[in-house]
Structure 1
Amino acid sequence: MRIRVFDARDADAVIALWRRVFPEYADPAKPQRDPRVSIANKLATQPELFFVGVVDGRVIGTIMAGYDGHRGWLYSLAVDETARGNGYGRALVQHAESELAKRGCPKVNLQILASKADVQAFYAKLGYHADEVVSFGKRLQSAPASASA
């Protein structure tokens, strides 16, 4: 697998992958989960930290990272179901961690849906553990009209 920065030409492949891997993207009660909006927002903020994994010219994985000067974050790790078990997810995480470390990032955080025990186990194998925190969230705005497109 070759890991590189996302290119706009990858959008359709990434959206198709995310819709397969993240069933919550189909939940109309979560308009913030529109993959086109997620991509547009990432391209507007640290686009150099949006990576795709490519095998034989096909996007089989993604990961997004962010760094605010205090903590790094990982988002949208996805590996195509047919490509799992080959170390691609681990490689994508390690690549994102490396890029964050180059920026001086001291710690990486991520959030996992409580119902996703398999994802929690994956990250535990990579050295991640649950922090003693409670995650709060607040929607600042409703999804833009383009989110339904």
Structure 2
Amino acid sequence: MTTTATLSIRRFEASDTDAVVALWQEAFPEYRDVTRPQRNPHLSIANKLATQPELFFVAVFGERIVGTVMGGYDGHRGWLYSLAVDESLRRHGIGTRLVAHVENALTERGCPKLNLQVLSAKDDVRAFYEALGYRADAVISLGKRLGELAEAPAV
């Protein structure tokens, strides 16, 4: 990262959609897989804007969106979703700052614990979160697709 531009974190705005979709398609290859309708980035954005949009953040470097994170809180536990950082800018602290930002936002809401899920094949992602103090809980994650996505393949 150059010193002429500064990094800021702010709430997602609708005008950010194209840049966020492009970032997610780079960071999450499954978002490019048309056989997985549950991995539609436009649907993910629409759903987040309908539920706690104030917990959807983007990292902006200069004029460019270079990271995202979403949080959720149901009054019992918080969740962290869609942490993504532009591949060319990884290992510069952007992901760490995004995680801290959503942790602070959830702490302000009284959230006592933050959960997240990492695909088991992504050891590097797990190592990132472990370096930030996250630990594997002794739980098994179960899921069930509902509605029109009920027939979508699991993964």
1:74 aligns with 2:93: no
RMSD, aligned α-carbons = 0.7
Residue 45 of structure 1: aligned partner: 51
5+ residue gaps, structure 1: 144-149
What is the one-letter code of the residue matched to 2:111?
Answer: C
- TM-score, with structure 1 as normaliser: 0.94
- Residue 111 of structure 2 aligns to a residue in which SS? coil
Q: For the residues of structure 1 that align with 2:129 and 2:45, how far apart are their CA atoms? A: 23
Aligned pairs, number? 143
Q: For the residues of structure 2 that align with 1:93 and 1:36, how far apart are their CA atoms? A: 22
Of the three residues 23, 26, 29, the one matched with 2:35 is 29
Query: Matches of residues 1-149 of structure 1 in structure 2 within 5 Å?
Result: 1-143=7-149
What is the one-letter code of the residue matched to 2:82?
Answer: S
1:80-99 deviations in Å (ceiling 9; x for gaps): 01111110000000000000
1:45-68 deviations in Å (ceiling 9; x for gaps): 000000000001100000000000
Percent identical pairs in the alignment equals: 63
- Residue 73 of structure 1 aligns to a residue in which SS? strand
- Residue 142 of structure 1 aligns to a residue in which SS? helix
Q: For the residues of structure 2 that align with 1:29 and 1:8, how far apart are their CA atoms? A: 26
5+ residue gaps, structure 2: 1-6, 150-155
- TM-score, with structure 2 as normaliser: 0.90
Q: For the residues of structure 2 that align with 1:70 and 1:43, how far apart are their CA atoms? A: 21
Give the Å deviation of 1:27.
Answer: 2.4
Q: For the residues of structure 2 that align with 1:11 and 1:29, how far apart are their CA atoms? A: 22
What is the one-letter code of the residue matched to 1:48?
Answer: E
Consecutive aligned runs of 4 or more in structure 1 exceeding 4 Å deviation? none
